[in-house]
Amino acid sequence: MAVVESMEYVEGDSAGAVPHIDWSAVIGGAIFAAAISFVLLTFGSAIGLSIASPYHGSGVSLVGFAIGAALWFIWVEVSSFLAGGYLAGRMRRRAFDATPHESDVRDGTHGLLVWALGTLLGAFLAISGISGVASSVSSVAATASGNAQSPAMQILAARLFRTDKPPAQPIPAQTKADAAMLIADSVSNRQMNADDRTYLSNEIARDTGITPEQAQQRVDAAIADAKAAADKARKAGLILGFLTAATLLVSAAGAFFAAGLGGKHRDEGTEFLEWFPKR
């Protein structure tokens, strides 16, 4: 009888010492989710490279590739947080000081903490990557000779000075750089002022041998193309932002549900072998 009373005392003391948040389970679930996400994203990247093609007209279309990549990203994020949430709920030490409903809520809360920790970790890595790229670009721009322009602006500038006849003298690189800078400035300010427009048109007419009116048409077409490209990039960023936010919200709900399921299997002592039919 004395032995039984001693065992009851130890069990009650250990239950009271268990915190409501088991951080070891949360961190383990977040690491597990990050590992699964990394593996699946790497696998998806390999698939994407195998079906994409750098040549126009071959391989999957750009729209199809974007849709496939978005669906894969959604599936990877949701499934990885489902796995991480389940692991956290299954590994959480339950304190028998609450009702079954309260215990289920605590299990689900651990799934939300896995989601929160994983999201913050992903955001930190993304910000670090963006900062590294920005630092590299700034370093290259500081050491490069002349004005550094984006490839899109350089292409537009090259089209402005295109001619069927060989020019009397090579078009200076600075002239094309100035043209690209003026086009980029017109996109930022929504229009090009009259002096810049006249200057650019005269430069094009002089270097290509076309009339000022034709040069003016080229300038207008280049500005329109630059604005269309900027608007397309803005819309793509908008869609990407909404898609990321919606995916994270669904992942949070999935992590909560999976953690609750993991806690239920923990309490019931469910074995993994029971999930697979015996042959």
Task: Verify that 65 and 49 share a domain, yes or no.
Answer: yes
The residue among 257 and 11 whose pLDDT is bigger is: 257
Place of tokens 């020019």: 167
Q: With contact defined as beta carbons under 8 Å apart, do 111 and 80 qualify?
A: no
Q: Which of 1-10, 55-64, 145-154, 262-271 has the lowest mean pLDDT?
A: 1-10
The Cα–Cα gap between 132 and 149 comes to 19
Q: Which of 77-86, 182-191, 209-218, 246-255 has the lowest mean pLDDT?
A: 182-191
pLDDT of residue 59: 64
How many domains in the chain? 2
58 φ, ψ to 5°? -120, 150
The Cα–Cα gap between 200 and 207 comes to 11
Q: Which of 147-151, 168-172, 241-245, 269-273 has the lowest mean pLDDT?
A: 147-151
pLDDT of residue 24: 92
Instruction: Report whether pLDDT(11) > 70.
Output: no
Task: Verify that 162 and 45 share a domain, yes or no.
Answer: no
Task: Verify that 7 and 38 share a domain, yes or no.
Answer: yes
The model's confidence at residue 89, banded by pLDDT at 50, 70 and 90, is very high
The model's confidence at residue 16, banded by pLDDT at 50, 70 and 90, is low
Task: Verify that 75 and 192 share a domain, yes or no.
Answer: no
pLDDT of residue 6: 38
User: How close are the terminal C-alpha atoms of the chain, in Å?
Assistant: 47
The model's confidence at residue 128, banded by pLDDT at 50, 70 and 90, is low
Task: Verify that 164 and 100 share a domain, yes or no.
Answer: no
The residue among 113 and 157 whose pLDDT is bigger is: 113
Instruction: Give Cα separations from 100 to 21, 25, 107, 238 (angstroms).
Output: 16, 20, 10, 43
Tell whether 235 is covered by a domain.
Answer: no
The Cα–Cα gap between 54 and 89 comes to 45
When pLDDT is averaged across residues 114-127 and rounded to a whole number, the result is 86
Task: Verify that 252 and 219 share a domain, yes or no.
Answer: no
Tell whether 234 is covered by a domain.
Answer: no
Percent of the chain whose predicted confidence (pLDDT) is above 70:
75
Task: Verify that 217 and 258 share a domain, yes or no.
Answer: no
Query: Hey, how many other C-beta atoms are within 10 angstroms of the C-beta on 126?
Result: 11
* HEC letters along 54-68: CCCCCCCCHHHHHHH
Task: Verify that 179 and 45 share a domain, yes or no.
Answer: no
Which pTM value belongs to this model? 0.68
Place of tokens 């009116």: 213
The Cα–Cα gap between 244 and 77 comes to 10
The Cα–Cα gap between 110 and 257 comes to 10
Q: Which residues of 17-44 are buried (b: 16+ CB within 10 A; e: fewer)?
A: eeeeebeebbebbbbbbbebbeebeeeb
Percent of the chain whose predicted confidence (pLDDT) is above 90:
21
Task: Verify that 78 and 191 share a domain, yes or no.
Answer: no
Q: What is the pLDDT of residues 22-50, one digit of tens each?
A: 899 999 999 999 999 999 988 888 887 77
Residue ranges of the alpha helices (H) in 20-150? 23-51, 62-91, 100-143
The model's confidence at residue 1, banded by pLDDT at 50, 70 and 90, is very low
* Contact partners, residue 226, CB within 8 Å, separation at least 6: 152, 153, 156, 183, 184, 186, 187
Task: Verify that 163 and 139 share a domain, yes or no.
Answer: no
Helices and strands (H, E) in the chain, number of each type:
8, 0
Task: Verify that 28 and 139 share a domain, yes or no.
Answer: yes
When pLDDT is averaged across residues 206-218 and rounded to a whole number, the result is 81
Instruction: Report whether pLDDT(139) > 70.
Output: no
| Residue 43 lies in domain | 2-15+22-144+247-275
Instruction: Report the mean per-residue pLDDT for the chain.
Output: 76
The residue among 69 and 111 whose pLDDT is bigger is: 111
